[in-house]
Structure 1
Amino acid sequence: MNSLIAYCGAAAVPDDAWMRWNVDPILIAALAILAFGVARGLASDARAGWGAIALMAVVFISPLCALSSALFSVRVLHHVILIAAVAPLLALAFPQRRAGRVPLAMLVAVHAVVLWLWHAPGPYAWGLASVPAYWLMQLTLLGSAWLLWRAVLSPATPSGLALVALAVTIGQMGLLGALIVFAAQPLYPVHFASTLAWGFTPLADQQLAGLLMWVPAMLPYLGAGLWRAWTSLRPAEVAL
């Protein structure tokens, strides 16, 4: 299916997967510019900045990119890494220091709409149909997640509000994952031959994708919620 061959190229198969590195010079230059900024001390947390760069290299440069053209579950893993790992690391590296002008509730809603939109079968297929559509998908997912994480992790955001935002995000992601898991038939276009080559039927691949979004994707949000709850209780403990 040519419609699935966009930025990451043809679907990887077991015989060539580990040779499928992406050496796009524009992408490498963009990551190099970000790395230069971190090295020059522009990031508030350099370790978080380097971690975000390393994970972006994994999802966009390593063979994971080509493998995401073969398996819907790997594509969802790719998206989960972007929104639940890269985005919070970027939020730590480039934090929000003051109360944001955009209400946190709006950031939660926008990110939820973006996530559900790109995982609806039609927009998902369109997002893989061309390089511009692919990057629109990636940048809106990462950008909306980064803005949400910046607000959630900001000391200027009340802990209670941050916890509600995290709980709502966990809930909507879990619902999306459950809908994907329990769908009675494959909903997303796949390379049937390459999916079978990896030992999956399209439906099993889709179910694995839903499980990834339903359970593992929630862990960073849960961890952030526990951290915010703990830090909000610490002053009370000191007072005792």
Structure 2
Amino acid sequence: MTLMTSGQSAAYCGPAPRPDGLLAAWNGDPWLIAALIGLALAGGVFAVRRGTPAGPRNPALLGAWLLAFALFVTPLCAMAVALFSMRAVNHLLLVAVLAPLLAYGLGGRRFSGAPGAAAIVHAIIFWFWHAPAPYAAALSHDGIYWLMQLSLLASGVWFWRALMARWSDIVSTAATLAGFAAQMGLLGALIAFAPDPLYAPHAATTPAWGLTALEDQQLAGLIMWVPGVLPYLVALGLAVAAALSRSGETAAR
């Protein structure tokens, strides 16, 4: 299998850093910084209109903003250029932490939608961007990169908002979460057990971090396979606990 690295230098967040230069690898994209400032201001206005305190007093939206800053401005962004395993971490935080924070902060419980349909669309988008060709394209062109990240985030927010709207339906919620966790584990297993490196943009960047391209890929697969399913299992546990609490309150009456 031939691995090409010609698009590596064009990756968003800049060239892949080496360990000794990681602390300097911050993303200073002025458009991104302006967007984050605009989102912070918009979040404050949104919170005020909902009758809730703005800024730091709105924990979900504040947490989402801080996580977005960490993923796209700090050296975590550059590390995802160097290592596919860090890209796996980036995407998992995007869809399993940032997306539910946004969904909750924007009022997900009032959203009407079918969790099953949202889960299917979200899973298709997730699998598509982890196919080697679309992934390589995203790391060679800024526009495609942001199409990847925003489509993952938007479909994730839709998934979590639709799920929160049906939170009281424990059967539907449990089935949706279990199904999504299973497909995430399957994708991780396929990546972990692939016999050859699949992700060309990282072929020349992993040795500086003490990994071969295949080892980095295997680590990414394991991250998706094991830690990647934990947020969905935690959400499932919260849903079950909420259902049991409601049952207990009903019985007490």
Q: Structure 2 length normalisation: TM-score?
A: 0.89
Shift in CA distance, 52/99, structure 1 to aligned 2, threshold 3 Å: closer
Measured after TM superposition, the shift of residue 21 of structure 1 is 0.5
**Moved runs in structure 1, 4+ residues, more than 4 A?**
42-45
Structure 2, gaps ≥5 residues long: none
Matched letter for residue 164 of structure 1: A
Q: Partner of 2:155 in structure 1? A: 144
More helix by share: 2
Identity %: 45
Shift in CA distance, 46/99, structure 1 to aligned 2, threshold 3 Å: closer
Does the CA-based 8 Å contact 1:107-1:147 persist in structure 2?
yes
Q: Partner of 2:89 in structure 1? A: 77
Q: Partner of 2:7 in structure 1? A: 3
Alignment of 1:128-167 (within 5 A): 128-154=139-165, 158-167=169-178
Q: Partner of 2:238 in structure 1? A: 227
Structure 1 SS opposite 2:81: coil
**1:140-160 CA-partner distances (Å, limit 9, x unpaired):** 111101110111122566222
Matched letter for residue 88 of structure 1: P
Q: 1:170 aligned to 2:178?
A: no
Task: Give the whole-Å Cα distance in 2 for the aligned partners of 1:175 and 1:15.
Answer: 35
Tell me which moved more, 157-166 or 43-52.
Answer: 43-52
Measured after TM superposition, the shift of residue 38 of structure 1 is 2.8
Measured after TM superposition, the shift of residue 218 of structure 1 is 1.2
Q: Provide the aligned C-alpha RMSD in A.
A: 1.7
Count of residues paired in the alignment: 239
Task: Give the whole-Å Cα distance in 1 for the aligned partners of 2:136 and 2:160.
Answer: 27
Residue from 18, 24, 34 that aligns with 1:29: 34
Alignment of 1:206-217 (within 5 A): 206-217=217-228
Matched letter for residue 2 of structure 1: S
Measured after TM superposition, the shift of residue 129 of structure 1 is 1.6
Structure 2 SS opposite 1:194: coil
Q: Structure 1 length normalisation: TM-score?
A: 0.94
Q: Partner of 1:55 in structure 2? A: 67
Structure 2 SS opposite 1:16: helix
Task: Give the whole-Å Cα distance in 1 for the aligned partners of 2:159 and 2:170.
Answer: 14
